[in-house]
Structure 1
Amino acid sequence: MRPHDMGALFDECAERGHRTTVHLDRPFDIAPGGGTVYGVPALAELVRAAASWWSAAGAGPGTRVAILKDNHWDIDLLACAAVRTGAVPAKLSAHLPAETASALLERLGPEVLITTAAVIERARADGVDLVAFARRTICIDGQVPGAAHLDGLRGHPVPAPRRRSPDDPLVITHSSGTTGVPKLVVHSTRTIIDRLAGFEALPAPVVGIRRDDVLATASSYAHGRTFCWTAVALSTAPKEIVLLSGQDPDRADPLLREHPPTVVEGVPAAFVRLKPLTGRLANPFRRVRLFVSTYDAVHPPTLRAYLNASRRRRPLWMDGWGQTETGPLTFRLHRRSSVVRRRAQTHHAGHPVPVKTRLKLVDPVTFRPVRPGKPGLVLARTGALCLDYLGESERFASKRLGAWWNTGDIGVRGRDGSVRLVDREVDRAPEGSCLATEDALEERLPQALECVLLARAERLPLPVVVTADGALSERAWRHACHGLPAMAEPVALSWDEVPRTGTGKVRRLELLDRLTGKTDTYGTGRWT
Structure 2
Amino acid sequence: MAPFSRRIELGTLFEDAADRGGAMTAHFSRPLDIAPGLGTALDVPAAARLVLDAAGWFAAAGVEPGDRVAIVKRNHWDLVLLCCAAARLGAVPVPLSAHLDADVLEILLKRLDPALLVIDSARLAAGRVLPCLASRTLVLDGRSDGAEAVGPRTVLSLTDVRGHAAPAPQRPLTDDPLVILHTSGTTGVPKLVVHSTRTLLRRLAGFEAHRWPVLASRPGDVVAGAFSFAHGRALAWTASVLQLDPEKLLVVTGSDWDEARPLLERHRPTTVEAQPSTYVRWRSHVRAQGDAFERVRLYISTFDAVHPPTVRTYLNATRRRRPIWLQGWGQSETGPLTFRFLTRRALRSEHDRHPTTRDLGRPVPGRSRLCVVDRETLRPVRRGTPGLLVCTTKALCLDYVGERQRYRRKRAGKWFVTGDVGVLTPRGRLLLLDREADALPEGSCVELEDVLEDRLPGVVECIVLGVPGGRCVPVVVTEDGELDPAQWREATADLPDLADPVVSSWDRIPRTGTGKVRRAALRERLGVSPETYGTGKWT
Q: Which TM class, normalised by the smaller chain length? A: over 0.9
Aligned residue in 2 for 1:210: 218
Q: Is the 8 A contact 2:290 2:317 kept in 1?
A: no
- Partner amino acid for 1:162? Q
Aligned residue in 2 for 1:255: 263
After superposition, the Cα gap between the structure-2 partners of 1:482 and 1:3, relative to the gap in structure 1 and judged at 3 Å, is farther
Q: CA deviation at 1:51?
A: 0.6
Aligned residue in 2 for 1:466: 477
Aligned residue in 1 for 2:139: 139
Q: Is the 8 A contact 1:277 1:283 kept in 2?
A: no
Q: CA deviation at 1:316?
A: 0.1
Q: CA deviation at 1:273?
A: 1.0
Map 1:89-128 → 2, pairs under 5 A: 89-124=93-128
Aligned residue in 1 for 2:195: 187
Aligned residue in 1 for 2:52: 48
Give secondary structure in 1 for the equivalent of 2:537: coil
1:216-248 CA-to-partner distances (Å, cap 9, x unmatched) read 010101111111111111111010000000111
Counterparts of 2:529 and 2:288, CA distance in 1:
42
* Overall identity of the aligned pairs, in %: 53
Aligned residue in 2 for 1:240: 248
Counterparts of 1:196 and 1:239, CA distance in 2:
22
Aligned residue in 1 for 2:42: 38
- Among 314, 329, 345, the residue aligned to 2:322: 314
Counterparts of 2:496 and 2:63, CA distance in 1:
55
Aligned residue in 2 for 1:75: 79
Give secondary structure in 1 for the equivalent of 2:476: strand
- Among 216, 220, 230, the residue aligned to 2:238: 230
1:90-142 CA-to-partner distances (Å, cap 9, x unmatched) read 01000001100100011010000111111111224xxxx11111111111111
Counterparts of 2:70 and 2:25, CA distance in 1:
28
Give secondary structure in 1 for the equivalent of 2:279: helix
- Partner amino acid for 2:205? A
Question: Comparing 3-12 with 500-509, which one deviates more in the overlay?
Answer: 3-12
After superposition, the Cα gap between the structure-2 partners of 1:281 and 1:461, relative to the gap in structure 1 and judged at 3 Å, is closer
Counterparts of 2:321 and 2:72, CA distance in 1:
42
Question: Comparing 263-272 with 512-521, which one deviates more in the overlay?
Answer: 512-521
Give secondary structure in 1 for the equivalent of 2:249: strand
Aligned residue in 2 for 1:326: 334
Unaligned runs of at least 5 residues, structure 2 = none
Map 1:483-502 → 2, pairs under 5 A: 483-502=494-513
Q: Is the 8 A contact 1:3 1:235 kept in 2?
A: no
Q: Is the 8 A contact 2:199 2:396 kept in 1?
A: yes
- Partner amino acid for 1:10? F
Counterparts of 2:399 and 2:366, CA distance in 1:
23
Map 1:334-353 → 2, pairs under 5 A: 334-341=342-349, 344-345=354-355, 346-353=357-364
Aligned residue in 1 for 2:22: 18
- Among 381, 384, 392, the residue aligned to 2:395: 384
- Partner amino acid for 2:486? R
Q: Do structure 1's residue 416 and structure 2's residue 404 form an aligned pair?
A: no
Unaligned runs of at least 5 residues, structure 1 = none
Counterparts of 1:504 and 1:513, CA distance in 2:
18
1:192-222 CA-to-partner distances (Å, cap 9, x unmatched) read 1100000111111111111111000101011
Q: Do structure 1's residue 272 and structure 2's residue 280 form an aligned pair?
A: yes
Counterparts of 2:531 and 2:289, CA distance in 1:
47
Q: Do structure 1's residue 177 and structure 2's residue 178 form an aligned pair?
A: no
- Among 518, 528, 534, the residue aligned to 1:507: 518
Q: Is the 8 A contact 1:249 1:276 kept in 2?
A: no
Q: CA deviation at 1:298?
A: 0.8
Counterparts of 1:138 and 1:517, CA distance in 2:
41
- Partner amino acid for 2:365? P
Counterparts of 2:415 and 2:362, CA distance in 1:
17
Counterparts of 2:138 and 2:496, CA distance in 1:
52
Aligned residue in 2 for 1:456: 467
Question: Comparing 366-375 with 77-86, which one deviates more in the overlay?
Answer: 366-375
